Structure 1
Amino acid sequence: MNVVFLSPHFPPNFYNFCVRLREAGANVLGLADAPYESLRPELKAALTEYYRVSDMHHYDELLRALGYFTHRYGKIDRLDSLSEYWLETEAALRTDFNIYGIRQDSISKIKRKSEMKKLFQQAGLRVARGRVCHTPEEARAFVKEVGYPVVAKPDVGVGAAKTYKIIDEWELQHYLSDKLPVEYILEEFIPGTIVTYDGLADREGRVVYASSMIYSKGVMETVLEDSDIYYYMPREIPRDLDEAGRRITEVFGVKERPFHYEFFRLEDGGLVALEVNMRPPGGLTVDMFNYAGDLDFYKMWAEMVVKGETHVPPPPRPYYCAYVGRKYNQHYLWPHEAVLHEFGPLIVHHEEISGIFAQAIGNYGYILRHPELAPLLEACEQIQRKAV
């Protein structure tokens, strides 16, 4: 099987997907604009060949690269990066080279938040009222309909990039004059806790692995306030969340892919569907899957792609697992060395976070795990505790 992996060096931990693909028997072909010499040794060893382009945004260069791979190795069976950023590029390349997976005729429903709402409702799930507003008049009419506060975000966008929480007329005017020149969707503000349904679907669309995260606060608030966030994986997934996640997987036709679905958990216990992402959760979350369940998600995905099946340990997972982020512009009570000394028995990994993720999840991250939740949450609070 010939698998082209776009940007195999980034995010930094994703090199593991290529390593596991090679171990599963795939012919792994790397395609990126980074110098070959900059790739880590484990990634170099996993790649049959690496094709460097001058810029990954130059589509004609990507076409030539796939043409070269096809000429040398035969038909390309799979192409992926498992990254939201390259999703549309992947769809175009799969369409042009007749490669299995998401193509251009199905990309809209997984990129546009307005299209996601329609499918959520088709799945019988509650959604926030929202509308793509093209003019100031349409935006004001929507606000009049639902009331303040409202949230404005690009209809096609990644994370909380250029997102606004609007609480009054002055902030509405600021949004209208400051927003990017792209289509925006306005939504009623939903007070609740962000929870996720994450996992892996097989070739038949069955969920073979599922996990969940509960956030200390919203990513949007973290970015807008330049504050801290932590999130944790429970050992078991609530039944209503599992059922909602499986319905989304079915209605969106997810096959042979990792996924990351976001919801609001309301005070009354209900769920509101927020958005879907056809890739693993960001940051160090894949590593959290592994630490929480004593498993290897990289291997599970690779075996699913190459062999069509994989072994998944049964629930419940043995540990709660948490990610705690800290920012360099904050003054914390516990210095890094003190964190390692005090919470060392809980910490299974820590590292500096790439700059493009830092605004959302911090410049430095710690992964912690424990069979019980209470000591884990106490450690999260203490690690982010500010000095007086």
Structure 2
Amino acid sequence: MNVVFLSPHFPPNFWPFSARLKEAGHTVLGLADAEYHELRPELQAALTEYYKVSDLHRYEELVRALGYFTYKYGKLERLDSMSEYWLETEAQLREDFNIFGLRPADMDKVKRKSVMKELFRQAGLRVARGKVCRDPVELQNFVDEVGYPLVAKPDIGVGAAKTYKITSDDELKEYIAQKPPVDYIVEEFVPGRIITYDGLTDIQGNIVLDSSMEYSKGVMEVVNQDTDIYYYMVREIPEDLREAGRAIVKAFGVRERFFHFEFFRLEDGSLVALEVNMRPPGGLSVDMFNYANDMDIFREYANLLSTGKISQKAQHPYFCTYVGRKDHIHYKRPHEQVVAEYGPLIAHHERINGIFAGAIGNYGYILRHPDLKTLLEAAQGIQERA
């Protein structure tokens, strides 16, 4: 199979996707704007060929590159980046070169939160009341209907950037004055814990791998307050969450794709559907999945493309926790003490790319253990202030 990987070097921990595809016998064609010598050696070895463009935002250059790949290797059968940022670019390239996967006609339902909300309702799921308010009159009418507090976020957007919590008339006025000139959806504030349902589907839309994460706090709070976060992958996925995830996969027609669905778990135990992302969960979450299951999710993706099946099921023998720290926060334990004190629990640690630092920190630790209490105590210790 001829597989084009857009931006195969970024996110930095996604290079094994290319490597496992190559090991499975696929022709892996890299396309990005980085210099070839900047790619890590393992990625260079995985790519059958690499085509450098001056800028990945120059669509005509991408078309020229895929035209070249088609001329040299024949029909292009898959194209992906595993990144939310390039979703629309990928869709247009698939349309122009008749490649399997999401197309431009699918973009509204997987990018616009307002459209997601309607599909959630059709799937029988509870959602927060919300509306795209395009002028102050619409906004005030919604406030009169729902009341404070409210959350306002881009209808198309990633990572809680430019997201507002509005608790009063004065903050409403500030929001109107400050908000960027794009569509915003305004929703009632939902006081619940963020949990996720993540996984991978086969070409028929069957879920072949799944997992779930719970967060110490909301990403909006982390970004807006510039604080730190930890989150953990559970060992047992609640059945109501699994059922909701299956309903969303069916409603959105998710086929041969990773997905990352977000929910609120309310105090009464019920679920409120928040949004969908048609990609693997971000940061080091795919690495967490591997450590939690003693498996290689990159290889299983290659298996799926090769045979339509995975070779190993996730057994979840460990809880796995990501713990982020930010450079500006003065922690009680320096890095060296963290490694010495929690070394037996630490599966991996690394400095985080600055693009992700606002949400998950400048430095991250992955910990695993069969007992959740042990991990949470370690996470809180790593983030304890001086």
TM over 0.5: yes
Match of 1:90 in 2: 90
Match of 1:139 in 2: 139
Match of 1:123 in 2: 123
Aligned length: 386
Match of 1:166 in 2: 166
**For 2:277 and 2:323, how far apart are their aligned partners in 1?**
22
Match of 2:104 in 1: 104
Q: What amino acid sits opposite 2:179 in the alignment?
A: K
Q: What amino acid sits opposite 2:216 in the alignment?
A: S
Q: What amino acid sits opposite 1:355 in the alignment?
A: G
Give yes or no for contact 2:293–2:314 (8 Å, CA) kept in 1: no
Shift of 1:348: 0.5
For each residue in 1:66-119, what CA deviation from the matched residue of structure 2 results, as whole angstroms up to 9, or x when unmatched? 011011111100000000000000000000110000001111100000000011
For each residue in 1:108-162, what CA deviation from the matched residue of structure 2 results, as whole angstroms up to 9, or x when unmatched? 1000000000111111100000000100111111111111110001101111111
1:359 has 2:348 as partner? no
**For 2:363 and 2:106, how far apart are their aligned partners in 1?**
37
Give yes or no for contact 1:120–1:273 (8 Å, CA) kept in 2: yes
Match of 2:320 in 1: 321
Q: How does 1:176-215 map to 2 (within 5 A)?
A: 176-215=176-215
For each residue in 1:228-285, what CA deviation from the matched residue of structure 2 results, as whole angstroms up to 9, or x when unmatched? 1000011110010011111111111000001000000000000000000000000000
Shift of 1:378: 0.3
- Aligned residue for 1:245, secondary structure, equals helix
Q: What amino acid sits opposite 2:351 in the alignment?
A: E
**For 2:258 and 2:308, how far apart are their aligned partners in 1?**
14
- Aligned residue for 2:373, secondary structure, equals helix
Shift of 1:65: 0.5
Q: How does 1:197-276 map to 2 (within 5 A)?
A: 197-276=197-276
Give yes or no for contact 1:229–1:325 (8 Å, CA) kept in 2: yes
1:79 has 2:79 as partner? yes
Unaligned runs of 5+ in 1: none
**For 2:87 and 2:244, how far apart are their aligned partners in 1?**
24
- Aligned residue for 2:139, secondary structure, equals helix
Match of 1:12 in 2: 12
- Aligned residue for 2:344, secondary structure, equals coil
Give yes or no for contact 2:324–2:364 (8 Å, CA) kept in 1: yes
Q: How does 1:16-31 map to 2 (within 5 A)?
A: 16-31=16-31
Match of 1:298 in 2: 298
Match of 1:278 in 2: 278
**For 1:360 and 1:91, how far apart are their aligned partners in 2?**
27
**For 2:119 and 2:24, how far apart are their aligned partners in 1?**
35
**For 1:203 and 1:37, how far apart are their aligned partners in 2?**
35
Shift of 1:174: 1.2
Shift of 1:314: 4.6
For each residue in 1:274-300, what CA deviation from the matched residue of structure 2 results, as whole angstroms up to 9, or x when unmatched? 000000000000000000011111111
RMSD (CA atoms): 0.7
Q: What amino acid sits opposite 1:233 in the alignment?
A: M
**For 1:73 and 1:222, how far apart are their aligned partners in 2?**
46
**For 1:381 and 1:96, how far apart are their aligned partners in 2?**
50
Shift of 1:171: 1.2
Q: What amino acid sits opposite 1:121 in the alignment?
A: R
- Aligned residue for 2:208, secondary structure, equals strand
**For 1:193 and 1:377, how far apart are their aligned partners in 2?**
16
Q: What amino acid sits opposite 2:181 in the alignment?
A: P
The range that moved more, 290-299 or 305-314, is: 305-314
Match of 2:333 in 1: 334
**For 2:329 and 2:185, how far apart are their aligned partners in 1?**
32
Q: What amino acid sits opposite 1:383 in the alignment?
A: I
Shift of 1:364: 0.1
Shift of 1:312: 2.8
Distance of aligned partners of 1:229 and 1:314 in 2 relative to their CA distance in 1, 3 Å threshold: closer
- Aligned residue for 1:127, secondary structure, equals coil
Give yes or no for contact 1:208–1:312 (8 Å, CA) kept in 2: no
**For 1:138 and 1:217, how far apart are their aligned partners in 2?**
31
**For 1:313 and 1:303, how far apart are their aligned partners in 2?**
12
- Aligned residue for 1:158, secondary structure, equals coil
Give yes or no for contact 2:222–2:359 (8 Å, CA) kept in 1: yes
Give yes or no for contact 2:200–2:256 (8 Å, CA) kept in 1: yes
- Aligned residue for 2:87, secondary structure, equals helix
- Aligned residue for 1:85, secondary structure, equals coil
Shift of 1:307: 2.3
Q: What amino acid sits opposite 1:340 in the alignment?
A: V
- Aligned residue for 1:145, secondary structure, equals helix
